[in-house]
């Protein structure tokens, strides 16, 4: 301890600085400024159990220094914690307090040395971690006394450290003021590295993301309930302080809320009943990528899922399928009842827990025979996440990440270790022969954990396995902005950390198509016909002669055009003579009428080539003449035959269609082979133009004997070439 003269001199030097204690706390901290602007009450401290748990977290994650630079020695023994530390709210408070102490570890140690607490006191080394976390909270409360609740049980170690800090209150405040002046900072918050400050700034404004549990409620019901509670639906929640929400552009079942509404939202029954679940958007993007690759009966294998809410979200998206979700890595079977109880409350039924780690899963495990998609969420640095506490608690990540976050990123050695683990897991996933796709997702912004891992795994994949190799596929998620399109040009889906979302990286790997499994159009039509989907449609066989004739149709010889005038005269005489016969003897047309056919093309099937010498009965002529036999003096006005199916039936085309009789072409076979055949289909919808060699309808009517007023109104008109 110090003598009275030294203490008096020390107080005289720092009197002016102590008068401004109210401004010495973390006034620049976004969290503090947010709370003060919202009119929240002054901080009163934490329960004793929170301090104990925070001290243990700090003890395991603190930045270790070399012995010659270590000013304070920390013990290796953890402090005994109470059962309250297992509560989720207590854990969140403890992690936040420990993370804050980690960020300011150097500054807090300097304050303790400068205030002469060390080495003047004889406090045990294992309590030094508790001193650090309680000192941070003490200065954050502006060195005001902690308010204790009446029913709270006190812990002896906490009371001992609290009394020590209160006795050095003035000296601690003066040391804090000198530290701020030394760094020329408005507050010690501005002493932090810029990367850490930017991360905290994003964390204070980052919107909240929650996905809808469609097993229990529909999106429309959620919108209605939120509206009843005063929430209005908008397109964007940025810079809006009111009670609003928006629908995410990438995931149709994800809602976005302003960050300051979390405490109010937790009191709504939608969140209490697991109808809305808070979770980082990157996990929703991952499960939606898997959903886009699934068939109705495909199973899924999830690796390193972290949060059980991710598994539940995957189960909800596949609720209408027969898919089963396998989750590996749950080593403790004691958690099974709690997990099953959670999934039951959320309405999830298709989840099966595997207690083996992913690397120990056998490739031919009978339980995984129907697994077609593997979702791989490896441990990563997570530097794309703004709030590391939420990331660690929700994804069950290692607390060592707090150290990396507090320093602005992991060390090179740590990054190399993580990258090696990620590569080994991805390479192992590619060995499952029955799997057809892999979704690889991280929350990192380092290429060493993202693109480099995927490219390395694709390059060194085992080609000796008798399956098709994997290839990089484009993103299956919608790209909603030009920036996203630009970031995805190399087939990777990326989202950079911003004020609206955390960072995210997604890669989709799919197996190349096996050439032996390529299905032709002919095979597809044959399968459809076997299932009765092509009823009434005749499937023909394609031939080389058809392709040859098709090429001949593309180029019409000039010699055939030169003989058009002679051909037209013969056609006109023949039709005039046949028209007179048909007018006197209409009954003869109701009998057999044969037309030689050259080509038969059908819609949706291959063509059939038949010889012209074999006549084929045209099914259209008897039907038409049956309708006209009762009234021979009138011409039919409608050639459409009603069918009960009321659908288009492809009919065989004919060479020429002139009312009321359809007759073959009288020209020589050599000439006809070079003329293109016009195709007429059901309902008599014919081409608007007639190729050379055919007479137009008006010319025939001028030579015929029947007047113009008896012409049918629905006949197609053909213009001269």
Length, in residues, of the chain: 721
The mean per-residue pLDDT over the stretch 558-580 comes to 60
- Within a 10 A sphere around the Cβ of 274, how many other Cβ atoms? 18
Residue that wins the pLDDT comparison between 572 and 681: 572
**Residue 580: per-residue pLDDT:** 63
Is 202 a residue whose pLDDT tops 50? yes
- Residue range 493-536, pLDDT digits in tens: 999 998 899 999 999 999 987 665 566 677 777 777 776 666 66
Q: Which residues make beta-bridge pairs with 460?
A: none
Is 566 a residue whose pLDDT tops 50? yes
Residue that wins the pLDDT comparison between 624 and 116: 116
Q: Which residues make beta-bridge pairs with 472?
A: 509
Q: Which of 380, 443, 480, 504 is catalytic?
A: 443
Is 196 a residue whose pLDDT tops 60? yes
**Residue 403: per-residue pLDDT:** 87
**Residue 213: per-residue pLDDT:** 97
Is 445 a residue whose pLDDT tops 80? yes
* Angle between helix 105-114 and helix 128-140 axes, rounded to 10 deg: 90
Weakest-pLDDT range from 21-30, 58-67, 143-152, 510-519: 21-30
Helices and strands counted in the chain (H then E): 28, 17
**Residue 584: per-residue pLDDT:** 53
**Residue found under tokens 């993103």:** 475
Q: Is 588 left (phi over 0), alpha (psi -120 to 50) or beta?
A: alpha
From the number of C-beta atoms within 10 Å of its C-beta (0-12, 13-18, 19+), residue 255 rates as buried
Weakest-pLDDT range from 45-59, 302-316, 479-493, 545-559: 545-559
Confidence of residue 338 (pLDDT cuts 50, 70, 90): confident
Confidence of residue 77 (pLDDT cuts 50, 70, 90): confident
Is 696 a residue whose pLDDT tops 50? no
**Residue 540: per-residue pLDDT:** 56
Confidence of residue 226 (pLDDT cuts 50, 70, 90): very high
Q: What are phi and psi of 505, to 5 degrees?
A: -135, 130
**Residue 637: per-residue pLDDT:** 45
The mean per-residue pLDDT over the stretch 347-371 comes to 90
- Residue range 108-136, pLDDT digits in tens: 999 999 998 887 778 888 899 999 999 99
Indicate the average pLDDT of the chain.
Answer: 76
* Domains of the chain with bracketed CATH: 48-192 (no CATH), 280-511 (3.40.50.150)
DSSP 539-578: PB---HHHHHHHHHHHS--HHHHHTHHHHHHHHHHHHHHH
**Residue 570: per-residue pLDDT:** 66
**Residue 204: per-residue pLDDT:** 84
Choose the most confident range, by mean pLDDT, from 36-50, 268-282, 534-548. 268-282
- Residue range 169-188, pLDDT digits in tens: 999 999 999 999 998 988 88
Residue that wins the pLDDT comparison between 619 and 435: 435
Give alpha helix (H) positions in 19-155.
Answer: 30-37, 48-61, 88-103, 105-114, 128-140
Confidence of residue 44 (pLDDT cuts 50, 70, 90): confident
Q: What are phi and psi of 553, to 5 degrees?
A: -70, -30
Percent of the chain having pLDDT more than 70? 66
Is 27 a residue whose pLDDT tops 80? no
Is pTM, for the whole model, over 0.85? no
Active site residue 441: no
Percent of the chain having pLDDT more than 90? 39
**Residue 154: per-residue pLDDT:** 87
């Amino acid at each position: 301890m110090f003598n009275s003269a030294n203490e008096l001199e020390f107080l005289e030097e720092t009197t002016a600085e102590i008068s401004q204690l109210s401004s010495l706390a973390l006034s620049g901290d976004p969290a503090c400024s947010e709370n003060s602007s919202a009119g929240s009450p002054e901080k009163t401290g934490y329960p004793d159990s929170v301090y104990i748990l925070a001290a243990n977290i700090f003890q395991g994650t603190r930045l270790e220094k070399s012995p010659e630079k270590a000013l304070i020695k920390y013990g290796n023994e953890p402090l005994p914690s109470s059962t309250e530390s297992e509560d989720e709210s207590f854990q969140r408070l403890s992690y936040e307090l420990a993370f804050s102490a980690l960020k300011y570890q150097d500054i807090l140690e300097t304050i303790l040395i400068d205030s002469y607490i060390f080495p003047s006191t004889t406090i045990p080394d294992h309590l030094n971690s508790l001193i650090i976390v309680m000192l941070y909270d003490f200065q954050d409360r502006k060195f005001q006394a902690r308010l204790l609740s009446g029913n709270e049980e006190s812990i002896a170690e906490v009371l001992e450290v609290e009394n020590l800090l209160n006795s050095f209150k003035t000296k601690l405040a003066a040391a804090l003021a000198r530290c701020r002046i030394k760094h020329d900072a408005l507050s010690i918050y501005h002493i932090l590295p810029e990367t850490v400050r930017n991360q905290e700034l994003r964390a204070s404004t980052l919107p909240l993301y929650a996905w809808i549990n469609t097993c229990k409620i529909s999106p429309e019901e959620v919108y209605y309930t939120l509206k009843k509670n005063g929430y209005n639906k908008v397109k964007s929640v940025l810079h809006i302080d009111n009670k609003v929400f928006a629908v995410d552009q990438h995931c149709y079942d994800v809602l976005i809320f302003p960050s300051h509404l979390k405490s109010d939202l937790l009191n709504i029954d939608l969140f209490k009943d697991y109808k809305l679940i808070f979770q980082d958007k990157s996990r929703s993007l991952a499960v939606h990528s898997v959903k886009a690759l699934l068939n109705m009966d495909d199973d899924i294998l999830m690796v390193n899922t972290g949060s059980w809410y991710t598994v539940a979200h995957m189960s909800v998206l596949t609720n209408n399928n027969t898919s089963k979700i396998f989750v590996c890595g749950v080593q403790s079977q004691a958690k099974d009842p709690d997990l099953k109880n959670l999934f039951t409350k959320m309405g999830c039924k298709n989840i099966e827990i595997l207690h083996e780690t992913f690397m120990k899963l056998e490739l031919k495990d009978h339980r995984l025979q129907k697994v077609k998609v593997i979702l791989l969420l490896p441990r990563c640095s997570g530097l794309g996440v703004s709030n590391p506490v939420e990331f660690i608690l929700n994804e069950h990540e290692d607390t060592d990440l707090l150290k990396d976050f507090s320093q602005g990123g992991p060390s090179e050695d740590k990054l190399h270790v993580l990258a090696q683990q990620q590569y080994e897991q991805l390479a192992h996933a590619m060995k499952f022969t029955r799997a057809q796709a892999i979704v690889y997702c991280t929350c990192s912004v380092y290429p060493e954990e993202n693109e480099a891992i995927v490219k390395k795994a694709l390059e060194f994949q085992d080609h000796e396995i008798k399956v098709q190799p994997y290839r990089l596929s484009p993103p299956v998620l919608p790209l909603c902005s030009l920036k996203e399109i630009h970031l995805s040009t190399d087939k990777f889906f990326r989202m950079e950390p911003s004020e609206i979302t955390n960072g995210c990286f997604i890669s989709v790997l799919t197996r190349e198509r096996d050439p032996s499994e390529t299905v032709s159009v002919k095979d597809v039509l044959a399968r459809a016909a076997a299932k009765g989907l092509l009823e009434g449609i005749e499937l023909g066989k394609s031939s080389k002669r058809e392709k040859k004739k098709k090429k001949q149709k593309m180029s019409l010889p000039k010699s055939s055009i030169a003989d058009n005038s002679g051909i037209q005269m013969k056609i006109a005489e023949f039709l005039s003579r046949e028209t007179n016969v048909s007018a006197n003897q209409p009954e003869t047309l109701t009998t057999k009428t044969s037309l030689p056919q050259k080509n038969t093309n059908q819609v949706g099937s291959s063509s059939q080539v038949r010889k012209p010498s074999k006549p084929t009965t045209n099914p259209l002529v008897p039907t038409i003449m049956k309708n006209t036999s009762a009234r021979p003096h009138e011409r039919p006005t409608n050639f459409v035959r009603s069918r009960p199916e009321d659908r288009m039936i492809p009919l065989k085309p004919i060479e020429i269609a002139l009312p009321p009789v359809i007759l073959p072409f009288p020209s020589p076979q050599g000439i006809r082979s070079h003329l293109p055949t016009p195709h007429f289909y059901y309902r008599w919808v014919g081409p608007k133009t007639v190729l050379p060699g055919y007479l137009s309808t008006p010319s025939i009517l001028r030579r015929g004997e029947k007047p113009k007023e008896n012409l049918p109104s629905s006949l197609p008109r053909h213009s001269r070439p």
